[in-house]
Amino acid sequence: MATLARLSRRILPRTLSNLRLVRAFSAKAAQSAEQPAPPATTIRESADRVKWDYRGQRKIIPLGQWAPKIAVDAYVAPNVVLAGQVVVYDGASVWNGAVLRGDLNKITVGFCSNVQERCVIHAAWSSPTGLPAETSIERFVTIGAYTLLRSCTIEPECIIGQHSILMEGSLVETHSILEAGSVVPPGRRIPSGELWAGNPAKFVRTLTHEETLEIPKLAVAINDLSKSYFSEFLPYSTVYLEVEKMKSSLGISI
């Protein structure tokens, strides 16, 4: 049955596109039968919506006059999205799958800091506290994987554990550590030299002197790792050759 349909799709692309439309309506009808109050909106498709962009997602997305800036020796992974007012300073590293979206306010990633995999950093319009609503990550900060930051200030030499969430206007002072999975509510201040954990974040204990000394060491270790990644990427990719090859094979003049 499926093969037959597949064949028919190959032979009759026109009819199938009609069929698909009919199907969309029938799906909607089925939905309305199940759900008493479906949203009565019509979806108008556009034919020129791109389903496959051969360029993929651009890493740097300027918005108006705001262009993201990356220092020459910062490592930003290829599938990171930097949009708007984002500055990545020297020695910082932004790892795969992270999204830094500075479209409402500034985002800075300081010297030797690192933002690990799949983090989302965003900034809000305004913060409930008097702090500036920009997200600033200062030097020697380690931000764990899957962390979400929104308009918060992280002072030098902190560690933010994995899966943490920092809401608007929160402040993490120097030499403090957030455990994995902690949620910092809006406007909360984490004083310096303390360890916090939980949802919502609560005080656990003060850090010993040795532990605070370890914090920059961790950041530097990750910086070293990022250097080996950085050296793996050439300054220009050679994909344009592929594009030229594809275009010439399709008969498009370059």
Partner 1 sequence: MGSLGRAVYTLGLWIRETGQAMDRLGCRLQGNYYFQEQLSRHRTLMNLFDKTPVVDKDAFVAPSASVIGDVQVGRGSSIWYGCVLRGDVNSISVGSGTNIQDNALVHVAKSNLSGKVLPTIIGDNVTIGHSAVIHGCTIEDEAFVGMGATLLDGVVVEKNAMVAAGALVRQNTRVPFGEVWTGNPAKFLRKLTDEEIAFISQSATNYINLAKVHAAENAKSFDEIEFEKVLRKKFARRDEEYDSMIGVVRETPSELVLPDNILPDKAQKAVQ
Using the structure block, give the residue that is written with the tokens 């206007």.
169
DSSP state of 208: P
Q: Quick one: 61 or 218, whose CB is closer to partner 1?
A: 61
Closest distance to partner 1 from the beta carbon of 40 (Å): 10
Under the binding rule (CB under 8 A), the answer on residue 31 touching partner 1 is: yes
| CA–CA separation, 113 and 75 (whole Å) | 11
Q: Quick one: 99 or 215, whose CB is closer to partner 1?
A: 99
Contact string (CB under 8 A) for partner 1, positions 167-206, x = contact: x-------------x-x---------------xx------
| CA–CA separation, 163 and 107 (whole Å) | 20
Closest distance to partner 1 from the beta carbon of 93 (Å): 18
Under the binding rule (CB under 8 A), the answer on residue 104 touching partner 1 is: yes
Among candidates 90, 94, 91, 104, which has minimal Cα distance to 60? 94
Residues 111-170 that bind partner 1 (CB under 8 A): 118, 120, 122, 125-126, 146, 148, 150, 163, 165, 167
Under the binding rule (CB under 8 A), the answer on residue 228 touching partner 1 is: no
Give the chain's length: 254
Question: Hey, what are 44's tokens?
Answer: 């108008």
Closest distance to partner 1 from the beta carbon of 170 (Å): 11
Q: List, in order, residues 6 or more apart from 246 with CB less than 8 Å away.
A: 54
DSSP state of 229: H
- Determine the size of the site formed for partner 1 (CB under 8 A): 64
Question: Hey, what are 176's tokens?
Answer: 């403090």
Dihedral (CA of 155, 156, 158, 164) sign? positive
Under the binding rule (CB under 8 A), the answer on residue 35 touching partner 1 is: yes
DSSP 61-125: E-BTTB--EE-TT-EE-TT-EEEEEEEE-TT-EE-TT-EEEEEEEEEEE-TT-EE-TT-EEE--S
Closest distance to partner 1 from the beta carbon of 106 (Å): 15
Contact string (CB under 8 A) for partner 1, positions 57-96, x = contact: xx--xxxxx-x-----------x-x-x-------------
Question: Hey, what are 72's tokens?
Answer: 């020459």
**Contact residues: partner 1, CB under 8 A:** 2, 5-6, 20, 23-24, 27-28, 31, 34-35, 38-39, 41, 43-46, 49-58, 61-65, 67, 79, 81, 83, 97, 99, 101, 103-104, 118, 120, 122, 125-126, 146, 148, 150, 163, 165, 167, 181, 183, 199-200, 237-239, 241-243, 246
